[in-house]
């Protein structure tokens, strides 16, 4: 299931702009093939950042608004890239803004706009230490051997 629909994209850009960007056969309507490919590309782009942190089946079942928004943000960037004559915005800048927000989610600086599922545990990605001296790799020797023990 895609995170957004053609209507969502039309609400973001206008129906006329969507038609102009995706009417490849010049029949007066947006072609469904390129739109479906755009949805897949945008959703996989977003999920690439969420994978391993969020449970993707849970996200897909009930997508948070933030996921939908980020996928649409990337879609607008791709539309501007596809037909720069119809969308007079810098697609590189639009893409970078979406990438930066997804990177912040990936790095734990920002979380999705939900309270419960699919948010990961608060300590996700942390390092745990069990207190055992046998498992520490950063042991500092107190005595380095005969003749190197220093002053007492």
CB atoms closer than 10 angstroms to residue 98: 24
Residue 35 lies in a domain: yes
Asked if residue 2 has pLDDT above 50, the reply is yes
Domain assignment present for residue 95? The answer is yes
* CB burial string 58-87: b at 16+ within 10 A, e below: ebeeebbebbbbbbbbbbbbbbbeeeeeeb
Question: What tokens were used for 13?
Answer: 């850009």
Full domain range(s) for residue 89: 6-106
Is residue 16 situated within a structural domain? yes
Q: Are 86 and 20 in contact (CB under 8 A)?
A: yes
Report if residue 102 sits inside a domain. yes
Residue 151 lies in a domain: no
Query: What are 54's strand-pairing partners?
Result: 51
Whether 101 is covered by a domain: the verdict is yes
The answer as to whether 145 is a domain residue is: no
| pLDDT (tens digit per residue) in 85-139 | 888 889 999 999 999 999 999 988 888 876 665 666 555 555 555 666 565 555 5
| Tokens linked to 20 | 């102009």
pLDDT at site 139: 52
User: Which residue carries 């810098």 as its tokens?
Assistant: 90
Q: What is the C-alpha to C-alpha distance for residues 41 and 24, in angstroms, rounded to an integer? A: 18
Instruction: Enter the pTM of the model.
Output: 0.73
Number of domains in the chain: 1
Does the residue 141 lie in any domain? no
């Amino acid at each position: 299931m895609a995170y957004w629909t053609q209507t969502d994209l039309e609400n973001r850009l206008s129906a006329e702009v969507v038609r102009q960007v995706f009417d490849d056969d010049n029949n007066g309507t947006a072609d469904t093939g390129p739109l479906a490919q755009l949805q897949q590309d945008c959703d996989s782009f977003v999920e690439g950042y969420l994978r391993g942190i969020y449970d993707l089946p849970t996200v897909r079942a009930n997508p948070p608004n933030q996921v939908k928004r980020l996928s649409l943000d990337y879609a607008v960037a791709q539309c501007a890239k596809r037909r720069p004559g119809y969308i007079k915005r810098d697609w590189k800048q639009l893409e970078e803004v979406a990438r930066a927000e997804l990177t912040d989610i990936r790095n734990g600086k920002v979380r999705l706009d939900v309270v419960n599922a699919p948010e990961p545990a608060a300590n996700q990605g942390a390092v745990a230490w069990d207190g055992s001296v046998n498992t520490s790799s950063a042991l500092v020797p107190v005595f380095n051997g005969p003749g190197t023990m220093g002053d007492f």
